[in-house]
């Protein structure tokens, strides 16, 4: 029996880029990899070719490990970078701290040393608030600095900012991990190659996001410095992130990175965020305090307007106390989608003011 369509394919939300479907070019790639038999657990020709695809972007030393999801990528990578007595310095807003259900702590036993930041970004000075106590057996030893590009609050590090972090961390004997769930969006915003704030800045290990940029599923752990990790392939298995039919993960990344699809999709998503920002930034009753640099907008609205809007469009409240909400666009957001949402925002703000 043919499955029934159970949703409106024209529906759009502004809650998360994870809501979007699969890019048609990615679906086509999955179909190409289908049929016949290929060796399981990564010994297939698509996963072998994937190493070349990533090295074309990140240099000859890059080694890539496809995994199922972003939390899995972060947990596998950080485990591989740490000894049991070591800890990770990260922003207080970091995804690994706020949005992964305690997975780094529960699944990997990782101590997170968090730092408040004004814009979601760490600096050498902020890192030093937690990077101390080296050699003190009573303190978890700071060993890794974890940053995100773009950050959880939508800001982007410049290559120089990341280079300063890497130089500082390495000077302290620490390593640097970059959560790249939205790495493509940051590169599109900054107009630089993907390696400009990874390989070229001294990042040791990073995750590369696919799901948020048009993949069906799949993220990747990318190791740039082999001396910074141990046992990634074993940890991927014990962390339940080793796909048996890995060719279907790998071929999606080939579609994304083997062409300019990653950049086209991220550029589109970012452009739709800017269109929304320009449409609503001057509306009476709205306040946008955070920079809009990738594909996220954080806005403060009257609670009555938020409640009314959420009956019409799906999006998340970011901070119940302040009334801050988060709006996100994706690769398939259209101008018409944005304009309809912006009109609804204006209508609900006017209704509250009246």
User: Do 226 and 149 fall into the same domain?
Assistant: yes
Which runs of E-coded beta strand occur in 20-148?
63-67, 86-91, 111-115, 141-148
Same domain, 253 and 311: no
Give yes or no: residues 107 and 209 share one domain. yes
For residues 246 and 275, membership in a common domain is answered with no
Q: Please state, in angstroms and rounded to a whole number, the distance separating the CA atoms of residues 185 and 198.
A: 14
Beta bridge partners of 326: 298, 316
Query: Which tokens in the block code for residue 73?
Result: 């990528």
Element (H, E) at 256: helix 247-257
Q: Which residues pair with 144 in a beta bridge?
A: 88, 175
* Helix, strand, coil tally for the chain in percent (to 5): 45, 15, 40
Question: Does residue 13 lie in a domain region?
Answer: no
In the chain, the number of structural domains is 2
What pLDDT is attached to residue 1? 79
Q: Are 133 and 250 part of one and the same domain?
A: yes
Shared domain check, 38 and 133: yes
Can you say whether the dihedral through the CA atoms of 94, 98, 103, 105 is positive or negative? positive
In which domain, by residue range, is 309 found?
261-353
Task: Pick left, alpha or beta for residue 113 (phi over 0 → left; psi -120 to 50 → alpha; otherwise beta).
Answer: beta
* Whether 242 and 306 share a structural domain: no
DSSP-derived pairing of the beta strands 296-300 and 324-328: antiparallel
Q: Examine the fold and report which residue of 233, 257, 281 is the final residue of a domain before the chain moves on.
A: 257
Q: Which of 230, 257, 284 is the last residue of a domain?
A: 257
**Residue 18 lies inside a defined structural domain of this protein:** no
Instruction: Please tell me whether residues 138 and 30 are part of one structural domain.
Output: yes
**One domain for residues 280 and 242:** no
Average confidence (pLDDT) per 10 residues, the chain, 354 residues: 89 94 98 97 98 98 98 98 98 96 94 97 98 98 98 97 98 98 97 98 98 96 98 97 98 98 98 98 96 97 97 96 97 97 98 91
pTM of the model: 0.96
């Amino acid at each position: 029996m043919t499955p029934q369509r159970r949703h409106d394919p024209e529906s759009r939300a502004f809650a998360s880029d994870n809501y979007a479907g699969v890019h048609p070019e990615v679906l086509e790639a999955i179909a190409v990899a289908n049929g016949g038999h290929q060796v399981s657990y990564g010994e297939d020709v698509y996963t072998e070719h994937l190493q070349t695809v990533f090295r074309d972007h990140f240099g000859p030393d890059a080694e890539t490990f496809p995994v199922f999801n972003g939390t899995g990528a972060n947990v596998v990578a950080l485990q591989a970078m740490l000894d049991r007595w070591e800890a990770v310095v990260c922003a207080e807003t970091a995804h690994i701290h706020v949005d992964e259900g305690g997975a780094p702590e529960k699944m990997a036993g990782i101590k997170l040393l968090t730092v408040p930041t004004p814009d979601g970004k760490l600096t050498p000075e902020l890192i030093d608030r937690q990077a101390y106590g080296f050699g003190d057996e009573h303190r978890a030893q700071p060993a890794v600095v974890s940053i995100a590009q773009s950050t959880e609050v939508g800001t982007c590090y410049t290559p120089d900012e990341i280079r300063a972090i890497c130089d500082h961390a390495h000077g302290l004997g620490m390593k640097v991990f970059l959560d790249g769930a939205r790495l493509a969006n940051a590169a599109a915003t900054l107009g630089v190659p993907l390696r400009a704030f990874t390989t070229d800045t001294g990042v040791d290990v990073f995750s590369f996001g696919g799901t948020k940029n048009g993949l069906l599923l799949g993220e990747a752990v990318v190791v740039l410095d082999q001396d910074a990790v141990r046992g990634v392939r074993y940890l991927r298995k014990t962390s339940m992130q080793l796909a048996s039919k890995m060719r279907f993960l790998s071929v999606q990344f080939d579609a994304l990175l083997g062409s300019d699809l990653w950049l086209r999709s991220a550029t589109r998503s970012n452009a739709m965020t800017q269109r929304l920002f320009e449409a609503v930034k001057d509306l009476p009753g709205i306040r946008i305090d955070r920079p809009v640099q990738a594909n996220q907008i954080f806005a403060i609205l009257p609670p009555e307007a938020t409640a009314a809007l959420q009956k019409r469009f799906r999006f998340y409240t970011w901070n119940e106390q302040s009334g801050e909400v988060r709006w996100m666009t994706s690769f398939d957001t259209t101008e018409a989608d944005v304009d309809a949402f912006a009109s609804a925002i204006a209508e609900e703000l006017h209704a509250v003011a009246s």
